Amino acid sequence: MALLEDFKTRFPEFDISTADQYVPKLEPSLGCYWGGSYDTACGLEIVLNLLAHLITIETNGLAESVKGQSSRSVDGVSESFFEGMSNASQRGAWFDNTKYGQRFLFLTRRRQGGVFV
């Protein structure tokens, strides 16, 4: 199946016209973000989540909020903070801005064995 059709099937929450507009424009740049294969089940899921993240950023900017962003006010002083999945990486922080980016990070993170103490 073509990338556009795979995207529409995997993410029906995106408007069809949005997918038709952005997927062909973003497809050539996917290798800049993910150099892996699209032909495997994991590669397909990684690429589709990457596309969903990029389209969300393109259409909504960084206004798409995710869980982990909090704010509070005490005695007229306001504080906001974000507790994302990534740790100390600007790349990771950028992907943390959408649920699709978070999935991309999770799927591309190197798998490590258990930690024994």
Residue 116 lies in a domain: no
Residue 115 lies in a domain: no
Residue 38 lies in a domain: yes
Name the E strands within 2-114: 69-74, 77-82
Q: What would the pLDDT profile of 2-58 be if each residue is shown by its tens digit?
A: 899 999 999 999 999 999 999 999 999 988 888 877 888 888 999 999 999 999 999
| Residue 79 · residue 71 · CB < 8 Å | yes
Q: How far apart are CA 81 and CA 3, in angstroms?
A: 36
Predicted TM-score (pTM) of the model is: 0.71
Residue 114 lies in a domain: no
The count of structural domains within the chain is 1
DSSP secondary structure letter of residue 2: -
Q: Dihedral of CA 94/98/103/104: which sign?
A: negative
Residue 117 lies in a domain: no
Higher per-residue pLDDT: 30 or 81: 30
Residue 25 lies in a domain: yes
Q: Please give the mean pLDDT across all residues of the chain.
A: 80
Residue 37 lies in a domain: yes
Residue 44 lies in a domain: yes
Structural domain range at position 55: 3-108
pLDDT of residue 65: 45
